[in-house]
Structure 1
Amino acid sequence: MTITTEFRLRSSVLPLVSIPETLPPDEIVCSHSLCIEPNAQVFIVEINAEDDVSDAQLAALDEVVSVTPFGERDDTIVYKLTVELDDSIAPAFDPERFESVKMKSTLITSEGWHETKEFPDYETFHDFHTTFENHGISLDLVSITPEPSSSNDPTGDGLTDRQREALELAVSRGYYESPRQVSAAELAEVLDISQPSLSNLLRRGERQLLTSSLEIQQPLNTLSR
């Protein structure tokens, strides 16, 4: 099950925030990025043509190594910008750490980045979140949406999608470790449900897994949610 996340990154040393900070655009759109060496990254960005930003203005920014205009598209000018990353955050942008993560869109303002990304699972998103926080980049989660399984019960274990989602998150975040690495309240917040609802999902999911693995017939009055 993949998950789609929307979040905001905040740090004064994030790449490209210098453009809306010092030049006319209030925001720019980044459609693609590529790491070419540990401390340098290429970004494909779109800047509104009405903002009248010149190649020279972009090249004059301290972080920008080179500027290549690609042409115009839908009243925007497309550029390829090679940017030198700040040493403090460069490791967080190492593509090998999160090669399975897909960028869907990035909006860059003077306050930071507003991103939508697709992650293969909750554990990868948790690692991504932790990595950026450890490098001084605050991540504020806006939304997190799981993509439903293609069938109602592809594994044959009898779990509902919501039960599986809660159990996978709990396992990936260390809820079942001793001592626990995360609280039920924190898991409930990620899933945007109440703590009692989270506990109910986990309890029913655990019971279903035990019943399925031990081949125990459930009582007839058991309700599945």
Structure 2
Amino acid sequence: MFVASFSIPADGFALGHTLETVPEMTVKAERVAAHGTVWVMPCLWVTGDDFDAFDTALKADPTVDSVIEVEAFEDERYYQLEWDDSVNQFVDALIDTEGSILNAETQNEAWHLRIRFATREQLEVFQDYLSSQNHSFQLLNLFKPKAPRQERGELTAAQRDALVAAVEQGYYQIPRDSTVEEVANALGISNQAASERLRRGIEQLVTTVLVEPEK
């Protein structure tokens, strides 16, 4: 299993016109799947300072067939859309490779997609499709989970608790205000278990932020 993160310009995927018109708005898909185009990214949460301009641009966006529902909240809006065939064709290619979209959101007029593939071959087939259709894209990182349902950068609950406890007790202060033994006592675990959770948690965070992705 592999989890790949891609950056794809919006004008090569979805909402290109809208995001070019109001690039300061941020869009995040709520429900993502790759079992059928009807269920892929129909629900979007949008934040920003110009919803009027966003709504106007959305109505003129060629990648959107229709806006089914809009609901406004204090500082964000919820949209349910029907996509144009151009978006559906892109998703069809992903479905053909048995990829699953785990996360989709926009940054600087580009979509950041995190996609899970069962094999490296499926990932390569999807990349070949993007290249054959002249889709501009960038592979940001590639991660092979070591545990079921694990994502790149995702800490286990035990690792997170250990790191939080260590910070709260000043373990990472200079000079240190506590020891591994004190962190272990706070968590009710052995010194060795505390040390391993801290080490693995830090390794996970460093791998995410600093280590270059596998090519």
**CA distance in 2: counterparts of 1:110 and 1:136, whole angstroms:** 20
TM-score, normalisation: structure 1: 0.53
Q: CA deviation at 1:109?
A: 4.4
Partner-residue secondary structure (3-state), 2:15: coil
Structure 2 partner of 1:212: none
Give the direction of change, closer, same or farther, for the CA distance of 1:148–1:4 in structure 2 (3 Å limit): same
RMSD: 3.2
Task: Give the C-alpha shift of residue 52 in structure 1.
Answer: 2.1
SS in 1 for 2:137: strand
The answer to whether the 8 Å contact 1:21/1:110 transfers is no
**Structure 1: gaps spanning 5 or more residues:** 151-188, 193-225
Overall identity of the aligned pairs, in %: 17
Give 1:105's aligned amino acid: N
Deviations 1:195-218 (CA, angstroms, capped at 9, x unpaired): xxxxxxxxxxxxxxxxxxxxxxxx
**Which structure has more helix as a fraction of its residues?**
2
Does the 8 A contact of 2:25 with 2:46 survive in 1?
Answer: no
Residue 59 of structure 2 is matched in structure 1 by 59
Structure 2 partner of 1:8 = 7
Change (3 A) 1:49 1:129: same
1:28 corresponds in structure 2 to 27
**Partner AA of 1:28 in structure 2:** V
Q: Which has the higher strand share?
A: 1
Flag the 1:18–1:62 CA change in 2: closer, same or farther, 3 A.
Answer: same
Q: Which range moves more in the overlay, 18-27 or 131-140?
A: 18-27
**What is the CA distance between 1:27 and its match in structure 2?**
2.7
- TM-score, normalised to structure 2's length? 0.55
* SS state at 2:96 partner: coil
Letter in 2 for 1:35: T
Change in 2 beyond 3 A, CA 1:114/1:24: closer
Please state how far the C-alpha of 1:51 moved relative to its aligned partner: 2.7
Kindly indicate whether residue 116 of structure 2 is the aligned counterpart of residue 118 of structure 1. yes
Give the secondary structure class of the aligned counterpart of 1:138.
coil
Size of the alignment, in residue pairs? Answer: 147
**1:72 positional shift:** 4.6
Deviations 1:11-45 (A, max 9, x none): 63421122111136443112335524xxxx76321
Closer, same or farther in 2 for the Cα pair 1:144/1:127, shift >3 Å?
Answer: same
